[in-house]
Amino acid sequence: MEVLRTPDECFENLPAFDFDPHYTEVPDFEGGTLRIHHLDEGSPDAPAVLCMHGQPTWSYLYRHMIPLLTGAGLRVIAPDLVGYGRSDKPAAREDYSYQRQVDWMSAWLTANDFSGLTFFGQDWGGLIGLRLVAENEARFAKVVISNTGLPVPEGVSQEVCDKVRRFRAEAPTPTLAEVGAAMAKMSTGEMALHFAYWQKWCWESEDMPVGVAVTGSIRGRALSAAETAAYDAPFPSASFKMGPRAMPSQVPTLPDDPSVAANRRAWEIFEKWQKPFLLAFADGDPVTKGMDRAFCERVPGAAGQPHTTLTGAGHFVQEDCPEALAKIIADFVKG
């Protein structure tokens, strides 16, 4: 496995990001190792919150929330997924799969022997993190999720499957505006086809503009040029961007996608999950709108919890409403 490592100087002088790096070596499961980075802020003896980012962001996403959570007496652990941030970046598309991300992060979790955790995940941070929780139940005390899911596609017609496959194989690369228009229809049926616009744009944009993709999904405020550049910092050239490009295609949207069986097994765990499980979804994210209902209906630990709808927020709630989200998490941990 060819692995790239972003030079340290790329992370110098990033706005509002003066946190010490921590590194863990884990097996790459091909005979080598990968270095995974994480932040660890707050008292080591405080209740710990594991905050996981998604695609195409990195732990920079939590820069506003970290001081709020530590100020509330919590410890914050925020890793960078493999392929993102300060973590190592495998160079080939086939290096990335949903299962590998779960395996790599499970190895990281075990190596650091974290326990008693409250998990928070958004976007791919939830897809990977919920699998992590299901496979390491004893290490987690509570769960909070926002704008994410644990997809097990059901009821997708053969006609839609054929449309998606033809689109992926034959359609021209969509523009970012076309992607936005398609994503706005995510809750109106044929979700797999609408999401395929994002999958195709990410994969076929060889020098994917990560910062632009992030800022375009933020509703609550405008990022500065320096903040947008900070989201690009882990990717000094196109060769470093295989993770953000490849991972959207690993979201299971069709019934025969390879991760469906493992996600179904994870649901079997959560359908018996009695520990507290909280939902804090945004009202302005078309991608995950309505996905919270499945957790409310199927997870016993979600019953009677103070679930919250974050108003005026889009997909990246950590940018849109960090104060409100940090308070929700802190109150939940202490409750």
How far, CA to CA in Å, does 60 sit from each of 156, 162, 163, 256? 36, 38, 37, 34
CA proximity to 61, closest of 95, 94, 88, 85: 85
How far, CA to CA in Å, does 244 sit from each of 58, 94, 124, 249? 10, 13, 11, 10
| Phi, psi for 142 (deg, rounded to 5) | -145, 160
Cα 154–157–161 angle (5° rounding)? 95
Spatial separation of the C-alpha atoms in residues 290 and 278, rounded to whole Å: 15
Which residues are catalytically annotated? 123, 285, 315
Note whether 312 and 177 are within 8 A (CB).
no
- What one-character DSSP code corresponds to residue 128? H
Note whether 165 and 149 are within 8 A (CB).
no
Note whether 295 and 155 are within 8 A (CB).
no
